């Protein structure tokens, strides 16, 4: 049982100079379930993408040995031919095709070259589905009629149809409820008994403790340790310590003490349902408040519901059947559209600047004034281009956007500068309350520092700032007070003194446990 099926040695992968993986060593034994743990951005998914050939041989350095022989995967098909199948976080199913068609997608059962044998397809689909506990499904119905949990199982069935030996699951339970998760985990244990090796990436440490035989912890692109079930302590606390145990350097500007003023935003009993699924509650009875001069963090794992909460507050841009009360400066307000939010001096900087923040083909000036145009840069519907140019110039200098001129298209700017343009766009609406969703995602350290400075300045100017971030050090480095959000609920509130990475993680884990 203890022979090695996969060995990855000295894997280093850079993205334009930034090391996402730094000399990573990773070993998986035949027939085990091996968990890969780490914070968001630690490099887990990157490592799996190297393994499966998403990043082709040559795009990284280091060696992959599978069954003792060196492998060079140039594309996903190469790794699949060896029996390595990865199931990504986002499901790769074609929603309008039937279950049978999806199971054999890209791997069709053929009668002759180019012609599908439907009888064979359905028969084999049934056989494969039986292995994942879906023997009672009608294989002719479209996949979209199934719930997420079953869709996840279809993905596994799809992998089984490809004669999988090593199955990689990237956050398979992120979108599942507890019952579905349990079922999936049990199927994994069942697969193990059939001799299939699994690698699972998950944030839910209780699940990892439940299924994993060994656990490798990755932090900042480096392998930290591998824990074996039976010999090492694999409790959640132990894993957390490995995940976050980094020293905090001076990556955050000093926060001057500024007086905390009146409560600017107060939300009570906020409930939101999924936009496509009227029965799925995404935000459950959330209440919180933010005061003037305060930076409040929303910590939590990806998919915890932080973005959904922010967007549902911001002109109901997410969800349906929204209920609860919002008070701004003590007065109850109705915010039904983004324009209402702007008028109520509420701003939201999206986590996805390219999709939701910017018009990439337009200039810095046009992007900066996009949200404020109606209220501050026009009279009777005619744009005051002089004011527009002056303000754009002012903010370009104020937050140090590096560009030739304000007429440069934002598509040609670096990520950090694009992020500053989005920030400027919302600062120009003269908000009292700013919600910054992952304000430093995907930008370099220098630009991050500058954005933290902007956050500090906003607080100093008496604004209420909410920072949503998956990077715990960032939350701790910038915030005065933190709400920990998990599964659409507030799992806890931590003051400045209690603010540690272990504290936040423990809060999430304790809350996860409560639901079981």
Partner 1 sequence: MEKKKTVNLDMKQYGMVLALIAVFLIFAAMTKGANMSPANMNNLIMQNGYVVILAVGMLLCVLTGNIDLGVGSMVALTGAAVGIIIVDYKLPIFVAIIVALIIGLLSGMFVGFFVSKLAIPPFIVTLATMLMGRGLTYTLLKAQTKGPLPGEFTFIGAGFLPTIKVPFGDGTIDMVSIIVALVASILIILNEIKNKKLKQKYGFAVNPAWQEVIKLVVILVIVWFFFSKLAQYNGIPFVLVIMGVLVGIYHFITSKTVAGRQIYALGGNAKAAKLSGINTERVFFWVYTNMGILCAVAGIVLSARNASSTPKAGDGFEMDAIASCYIGGAATAGGIGTIIGAVVGAFIMGVLNNGMSLYGWSTDIQKIVKGAVLLGAVTVDLVSKRKKG
Please state the length of the chain: 516
Among residue numbers 403 through 462, which ones bind partner 1 (CB under 8 A)? 404-405, 407, 425
- In the list 373, 408, 444, 449, the residue contacting partner 1 (rule: CB under 8 A) is 373
**Among 121, 102, 101, which residue's Cα sits nearest to residue 111?**
121
The single-letter DSSP state of residue 471 is -
Helix (H) or strand (E) holding 157: helix 148-161
Residue with tokens 């960032």: 474
Greatest CA separation found in the chain? Answer: 77
CB 341 to partner 1: min, Å: 7
Q: 412: Cβ–Cβ under 8 A, 6 or more apart, which residues?
A: none
CB 458 to partner 1: min, Å: 19
Q: Judged by CB under 8 A, does residue 486 bind partner 1?
A: no
Of 3-11, 23-31, 258-266, 341-349, the window that binds partner 1 (rule: CB under 8 A) is 341-349
Say if CB 511 and CB 489 are below 8 A apart.
yes
- In the list 172, 315, 439, 488, the residue contacting partner 1 (rule: CB under 8 A) is 315
Return the number of the residue (357 or 439) whose C-beta is nearest partner 1: 357
- β 295-299/464-468 pair status: parallel
Q: Judged by CB under 8 A, does residue 385 bind partner 1?
A: yes
For residue 97, the Cα-to-chain-centroid distance in whole angstroms is 27
**Among 404, 432, 443, which residue's Cα sits nearest to residue 422?**
443
Say if CB 487 and CB 300 are below 8 A apart.
no
Q: Say how many residues touch partner 1, by CB under 8 A.
A: 35
Return the number of the residue (73 or 348) whose C-beta is nearest partner 1: 348
- In the list 382, 446, 495, 516, the residue contacting partner 1 (rule: CB under 8 A) is 382
- In the list 79, 366, 418, 486, the residue contacting partner 1 (rule: CB under 8 A) is 366
Return the number of the residue (374 or 506) whose C-beta is nearest partner 1: 374
CB 405 to partner 1: min, Å: 7
- In the list 374, 398, 460, 506, the residue contacting partner 1 (rule: CB under 8 A) is 374
Phi and psi at residue 340, to the nearest 5°: -60, -45
Helix (H) or strand (E) holding 193: helix 178-193
- In the list 87, 211, 341, 491, the residue contacting partner 1 (rule: CB under 8 A) is 341
Return the number of the residue (227 or 401) whose C-beta is nearest partner 1: 401
Its sign, for the CA torsion 64, 68, 74, 75, is: negative
3-state secondary structure of 432: coil
Of 38-46, 372-380, 471-479, 489-497, the window that binds partner 1 (rule: CB under 8 A) is 372-380
Q: Judged by CB under 8 A, does residue 381 bind partner 1?
A: yes
Helix (H) or strand (E) holding 227: strand 222-228
Q: How large is the C-alpha radius of gyration of the chain?
A: 25
Q: Judged by CB under 8 A, does residue 364 bind partner 1?
A: no
Q: Judged by CB under 8 A, does residue 397 bind partner 1?
A: no
Q: 171: Cβ–Cβ under 8 A, 6 or more apart, which residues?
A: 89, 201, 202, 203
Of 141-149, 283-291, 375-383, 463-471, the window that binds partner 1 (rule: CB under 8 A) is 375-383
**Among 32, 33, 29, 37, which residue's Cα sits nearest to residue 66?**
29
Q: 162: Cβ–Cβ under 8 A, 6 or more apart, which residues?
A: 80, 83, 85, 107
- In the list 1, 112, 115, 361, the residue contacting partner 1 (rule: CB under 8 A) is 361
Q: Judged by CB under 8 A, does residue 359 bind partner 1?
A: yes
Q: Judged by CB under 8 A, does residue 336 bind partner 1?
A: no
Q: Judged by CB under 8 A, does residue 322 bind partner 1?
A: no
CB 349 to partner 1: min, Å: 10
Q: Judged by CB under 8 A, does residue 144 bind partner 1?
A: no
Of 31-39, 44-52, 114-122, 356-364, the window that binds partner 1 (rule: CB under 8 A) is 356-364
Question: Using CA atoms, how far apart are residues 437 and 446, in angstroms rounded to an integer?
Answer: 19
Q: Give the interface with partner 1 as residue ranges (CB under 8 A).
A: 314-315, 317, 337-339, 341-342, 348, 350, 355-362, 366, 370-371, 373-374, 378, 381-383, 385, 389-390, 393, 404-405, 407, 425
């Amino acid at each position: 049982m203890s022979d090695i099926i996969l060995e990855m040695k000295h894997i280093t992968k850079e993205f334009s100079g930034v090391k996402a993986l730094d000399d990573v060593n990773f070993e998986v034994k035949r027939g085990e379930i091996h968990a890969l743990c780490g914070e968001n951005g630690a490099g887990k998914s990157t490592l799996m993408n190297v393994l499966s050939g998403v990043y082709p041989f040559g795009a990284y350095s280091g060696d992959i040995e599978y069954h003792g022989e060196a492998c060079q995967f140039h594309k996903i098909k190469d790794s699949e031919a060896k029996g390595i199948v990865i199931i990504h976080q986002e499901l790769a199913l074609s929603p309008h095709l039937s279950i049978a068609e999806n199971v054999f997608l890209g791997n069709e059962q053929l009668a002759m070259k180019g012609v599908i044998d439907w009888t064979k397809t359905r028969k084999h689909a049934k056989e494969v589905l039986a292995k994942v506990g879906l023997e009672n499904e009608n294989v002719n119905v479209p996949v979209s009629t199934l719930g997420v949990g079953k869709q996840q199982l279809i993905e596994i069935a799809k992998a089984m149809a490809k004669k999988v030996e090593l199955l990689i699951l990237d956050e398979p339970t992120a979108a599942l409820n507890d019952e579905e998760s349990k079922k999936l985990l049990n199927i994994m244990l069942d697969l193990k008994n059939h001799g299939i090796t699994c690698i699972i990436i998950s944030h839910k440490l209780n699940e990892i403790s439940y299924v994993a035989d060994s656990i490798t912890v990755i932090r900042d692109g480096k392998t930290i340790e591998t824990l074996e079930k039976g010999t090492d302590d694999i409790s959640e606390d132990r894993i957390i310590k490995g995940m976050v145990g980094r020293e905090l350097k001076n990556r955050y500007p000093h926060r001057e003490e500024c007086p905390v003023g009146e409560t600017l935003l107060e939300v009570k009993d906020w409930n939101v349902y999924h936009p496509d699924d009227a029965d799925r509650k995404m935000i459950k009875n959330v209440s919180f408040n933010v005061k003037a001069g305060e930076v409040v963090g929303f910590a939590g794992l990806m998919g915890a519901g932080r973005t959904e909460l922010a967007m549902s507050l911001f002109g109901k841009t997410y969800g349906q059947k929204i209920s609860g009360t919002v008070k701004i400066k003590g007065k109850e307000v109705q915010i039904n559209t983004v324009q209402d939010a702007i008028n109520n001096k509420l701003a939201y900087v999206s986590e996805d600047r390219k999709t939701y923040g910017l018009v990439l083909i337009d200039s810095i000036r046009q992007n900066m004034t996009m949200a404020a145009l109606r209220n501050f840069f026009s009279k009777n519907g005619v744009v005051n281009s002089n004011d527009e140019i002056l303000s754009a110039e002012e903010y370009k200098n104020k937050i140090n956007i590096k560009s030739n001129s304000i007429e440069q298209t934002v598509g040609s700017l670096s990520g950090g500068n694009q992020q500053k343009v989005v920030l400027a766009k919302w600062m120009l609406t003269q908000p009292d309350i700013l919600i910054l969703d992952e304000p430093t995602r995907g930008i370099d350290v220098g630009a991050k520092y500058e954005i933290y400075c902007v956050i500090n300045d906003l607080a100093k100017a008496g604004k209420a700032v909410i920072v949503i971030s998956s990077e715990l050090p960032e939350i701790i480095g910038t915030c005065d007070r933190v709400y920990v959000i998990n599964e659409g609920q507030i799992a806890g509130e931590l003051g400045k003194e209690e603010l540690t990475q272990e504290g936040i993680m423990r809060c999430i884990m304790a809350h996860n446990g409560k639901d079981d």
